[in-house]
């Protein structure tokens, strides 16, 4: 059993294959945090904590004679609020008498087989793993609020999940103002924070900074997990590298407004509070009602590579639910950068024919296929094919595309509406707009109020009708603006603070219904590129369009940053045209292919304008990707260059699960005159096996891992190289 309770000491111990997590119910009933890290032979870590009078940190009333005992300095599993812990709190609420205090003490706990579910929200599920659940109930008997803390222990995968359920156990309404998913204390040690910030076309840029005293806040209030701050953060020892050192990864499985607060306090203790962003959040909790927070995925490891591998494995196996989760992803061509809105049947058929000729498997018809969609001013909401552009209708086009041996996929942006649409004219109150206020516009569109049941049904019915009527095997689900003027015309004024979260509950239910009704359809998430690249979306869409920036050199950093938390199979990545449409850069086709192969591979350019030589090279790329895909998606991925080297080169490596094969890739981003050759040490090979290196020489795995490999000098514009490393004996 991976969860143990030791009654004598009040210890609750969670253990995975190589980590342990400890908490302690103390004599006062407070649930203290004791340890999270490498698995230990020794169980009780309470010896670590010495208490003394900290000055200006008060004491609970029943401990008033013990100035050493203060919530303000105690490591806790979930905090109280308003009663003397002045650090960032996990929860805040107001009661009907106006009081804004609660002090939670242990009530009971349960240990269960299997993994708990998170009602209404995506969650990490049990995929034939050894999983146990711990539920600890805390209660404040004055405010009558109960907090149930859930812990899922994935033994083999070295992952712990957490969520909290907040219950109104009284007879009066309570208003929740903050409801975090978890509090994780790191009472000792110095930490660097690695976070993933960015902007549209430059998502998930890694930044590593030492924590300073105060509160670091990473958040999105944009109604989407956002291009700006991904809901994933790593804390690591300042000495931690890819290969060694203590590190913790924390990922919120949520696509809406999120907040991570990391406080380095007056006593040099670190506290992380992660969950829904409390800004503009307010949830009415009637008697007996409960609120369920999104789930957090936690892991700790020795080195950043091991940490990434744990997140990759759990997301690939226990987060993604689609039947595509472990299977081949069709090599696709998307027409967006080939035609933009200026599409018609003739152009699409010509593009599809070229794509079929080089071995592409799926044609994706992007934005612009529906009525009045000549630009981004009109049409969203009315999902009726444009018969001027497509005179034979969508079915006529699909028949032609299928006739070439290609599957067909369609772009939709179902959560949006243009003012210039029949839908908006019929239902202006379905759009999110604040009363008596002109709304913020973005890309000339408004967001449909998905917190409304009628809007939910409309979208479900519209998408179901498309998927039933046409032979569609793939959907690209886009989302091209943030939420502003958040207001539901169907909700009472006191409940307006619930709208954004209700929007996401409805979106997840919609995705759940559609993916169950159409299990053979591959959904690819998208939000102006990677603006909703999160574990919540990955439950339903096994891959997400990583960025609207298709420049291979920009993509190196975007994909590198994404790889810390998310598996390679989830990263939608395409070869696009030169000069690149976002940056104007000229990058060789070979390099564009090398970079796009670090993902779910495809093309997005006008093939009809390319030479036969270029098409031949693409044909070879597709053949190669299909052959290597099982290793790229199922194998282990290693970052061989660090953030420091990225101004010169990026190098990375895939190793097949049975260690019989590896692919080493390098792209030189800035060839330097007279520079030392690029030298890397390979990872993850069988040390005793002999490998052929690109058919050029044979070498022991141990030699490649300890002696390494020296690349030949690569010059010119963004040169790249892929090396096949194949076990020969």
Shortest approach of ligand DGJ to residue 480 CB, angstroms?
5
Q: Which of 203, 534, 551, 604 is catalytic?
A: 534
Shortest approach of ligand DGJ to residue 530 CB, angstroms?
8
- As a whole number of angstroms, the distance between CA 387 and CA 344 comes to 9
- As a whole number of angstroms, the distance between CA 410 and CA 222 comes to 26
- Nearest residue relative to ligand DGJ (C-beta): 367
- As a whole number of angstroms, the distance between CA 600 and CA 585 comes to 23
Closest CA to 368 of 358, 356, 350, 380: 380
Q: Report the interface residues with ligand DGJ, using CB under 6 A.
A: 336, 366-367, 411, 478, 480, 526, 528-529, 545, 548
- As a whole number of angstroms, the distance between CA 585 and CA 719 comes to 13
Maximal C-alpha separation, the chain:
85
The yes-or-no answer on residue 614 being catalytic is yes
DSSP labels, 630-693: HHHHHSEEEE-S-GGGGGTEEEEEEE-TTSSEEEEEEEESS--TTPPPPEE---S--TTSEEEE
Tell me whether residue 70 or residue 480 sits nearer to ligand DGJ (CB atom).
Answer: 480
Supply the DSSP symbol for 420.
B
Tell me whether residue 296 or residue 521 sits nearer to ligand DGJ (CB atom).
Answer: 521
Tell me whether residue 336 or residue 458 sits nearer to ligand DGJ (CB atom).
Answer: 336
Asked if residues 650 and 591 have their Cβ atoms less than 8 Å apart, the reply is no
Supply the DSSP symbol for 501.
H
Tell me whether residue 149 or residue 546 sits nearer to ligand DGJ (CB atom).
Answer: 546
CA distances from 428 to 425, 431, 461, 651 (A): 6, 6, 19, 52
Closest CA to 191 of 296, 268, 250: 268
| Torsional sign, CA 35, 39, 45, 48 | negative
Asked if residues 156 and 193 have their Cβ atoms less than 8 Å apart, the reply is no
Asked if residues 613 and 605 have their Cβ atoms less than 8 Å apart, the reply is no
What is the signed CA dihedral for 87, 49, 184, 93, rounded to 10 degrees? -40
Looking from the CA of 494 toward its CB, the CA atoms found within 13 Å total 8
Shortest approach of ligand DGJ to residue 366 CB, angstroms?
5
The neighbouring-strand residues paired with 32 are 24, 76
Looking from the CA of 351 toward its CB, the CA atoms found within 13 Å total 24
Cα 52 to the chain's mean position, in Å? 41
CA distances from 396 to 86, 338, 348, 403 (A): 65, 21, 12, 11
Tell me whether residue 81 or residue 336 sits nearer to ligand DGJ (CB atom).
Answer: 336
The yes-or-no answer on residue 357 being catalytic is no
Supply the DSSP symbol for 284.
E
- As a whole number of angstroms, the distance between CA 10 and CA 210 comes to 35
Question: Token match 């990058």: residue?
Answer: 587
Shortest approach of ligand DGJ to residue 481 CB, angstroms?
10
DSSP labels, 338-357: HHTT---HHHHHHHHHHHHH
- As a whole number of angstroms, the distance between CA 409 and CA 524 comes to 10
Task: Provide the pairing of β-strand 145-154 with 214-220.
Answer: unpaired
Q: What residues contact residue 425 under an 8 Å CB cut-off, 6+ apart?
A: none
Question: Token match 């999160």: residue?
Answer: 534
- Please identify every residue annotated as catalytic: 534, 614
């Amino acid at each position: 059993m991976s969860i143990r309770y030791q009654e004598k000491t009040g210890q609750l111990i969670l253990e995975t294959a190589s980590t342990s997590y400890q908490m302690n119910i103390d004599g006062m009933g407070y649930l203290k945090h004791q340890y999270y890290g490498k698995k230990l032979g020794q169980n009780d870590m309470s010896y670590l904590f010495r208490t003394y009078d900290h000055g200006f940190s008060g004491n609970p009333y029943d401990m008033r004679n013990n100035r050493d005992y203060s919530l303000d300095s105690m490591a806790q599993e979930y905090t109280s609020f308003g009663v003397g812990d002045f650090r960032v709190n996990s929860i805040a609420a107001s009661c009907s008498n106006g009081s804004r205090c609660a002090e939670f003490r242990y009530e009971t706990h349960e240990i269960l087989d299997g993994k708990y579910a998170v009602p209404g929200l995506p969650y990490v599920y049990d995929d034939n793993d050894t999983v146990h659940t711990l539920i600890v109930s805390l209660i404040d008997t004055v405010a009558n609020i109960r907090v149930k803390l859930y812990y899922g222990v994935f033994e083999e995968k070295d992952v712990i999940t957490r969520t909290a359920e907040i219950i109104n156990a009284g007879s009066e309404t309570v208003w929740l103002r903050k409801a975090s998913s978890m509090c994780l204390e790191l009472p000792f040690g110095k930490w660097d924070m690695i976070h993933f910030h960015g902007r549209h076309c430059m998502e998930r840029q890694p930044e590593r900074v030492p924590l300073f005293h105060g509160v670091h806040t990473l958040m999105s209030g944009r109604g989407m997990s956002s291009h700006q701050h991904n809901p994933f953060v790593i804390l690591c020892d300042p000495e931690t590298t890819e290969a060694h050192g203590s590190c913790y990864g924390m990922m919120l499985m949520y696509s809406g407004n999120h907040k991570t607060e990391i406080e380095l306090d007056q006593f040099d203790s670190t506290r992380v509070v992660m969950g829904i962003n409390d800004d503009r959040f307010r949830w009415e909790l009637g008697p007996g009602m409960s609120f369920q927070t999104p789930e957090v995925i936690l892991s700790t490891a020795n080195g950043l590579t091991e940490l990434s591998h744990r997140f990759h494995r759990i997301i690939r196996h226990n987060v993604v639910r689609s039947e595509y989760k472990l299977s081949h992803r069709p090599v696709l061509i998307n027409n967006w950068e080939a035609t933009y809105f200026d599409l018609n049947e003739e152009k699409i058929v010509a593009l599809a024919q070229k794509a079929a000729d080089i071995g592409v498997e799926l044609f994706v018809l992007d934005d612009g296929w529906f009525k009045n969609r000549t630009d981004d001013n009109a049409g969203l909401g009315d999902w009726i094919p444009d018969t001027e552009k497509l005179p034979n209708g969508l079915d006529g086009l699909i028949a032609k595309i299928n006739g070439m041996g290609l599957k067909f996929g369609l772009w939709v942006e179902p959560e949006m509406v243009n003012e210039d649409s029949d839908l908006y004219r019929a239902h202006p109150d379905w759009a999110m707009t604040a009363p008596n206020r002109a709304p913020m516009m973005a890309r000339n569109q408004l967001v449909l109020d998905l917190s409304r049941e009628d809007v939910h049904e409309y979208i479900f019915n519209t998408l179901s009708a498309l998927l039933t009527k046409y032979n569609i095997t793939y959907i690209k689900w886009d989302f091209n603006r943030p939420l502003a003027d958040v207001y539901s015309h169907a909700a009472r004024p006191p409940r307006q603070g619930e709208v954004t979260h209700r929007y996401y509950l409805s979106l997840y239910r919609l995705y759940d219904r559609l993916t169950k009704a159409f299990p053979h359809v591959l959904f690819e998430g998208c939000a102006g590129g990677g603006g909703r690249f999160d574990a919540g979306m990955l439950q339903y869409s096994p891959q997400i369009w990583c960025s609207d920036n298709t420049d291979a050199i920009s993509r190196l950093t975007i994909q590198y940053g994404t790889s810390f938390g998310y598996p390679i199979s989830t990263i939608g990545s395409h070869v696009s045209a030169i000069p690149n449409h976002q940056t104007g850069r000229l990058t060789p086709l070979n390099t564009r292919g090398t970079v796009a192969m670090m993902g779910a591979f495809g093309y997005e350019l006008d093939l009809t304008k390319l030479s036969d030589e270029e098409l031949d090279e693409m044909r070879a790329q597709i053949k190669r990707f299909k052959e290597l895909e099982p290793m790229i998606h199922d194998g282990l991925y290693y970052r061989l260059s660090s953030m420091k080297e990225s101004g010169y080169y990026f190098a990375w490596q895939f190793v097949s699960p049975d260690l019989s094969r590896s692919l080493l890739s390098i792209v030189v981003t800035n060839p330097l005159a007279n520079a030392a050759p690029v030298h890397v040490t390979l990872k993850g090979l069988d040390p005793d096996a002999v490998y052929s290196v690109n058919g050029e020489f044979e070498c022991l795995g141990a030699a490649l891992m300890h002696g390494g490999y020296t690349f030949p000098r690569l010059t010119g514009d963004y040169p790249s190289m892929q090396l096949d490393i194949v076990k020969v004996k």
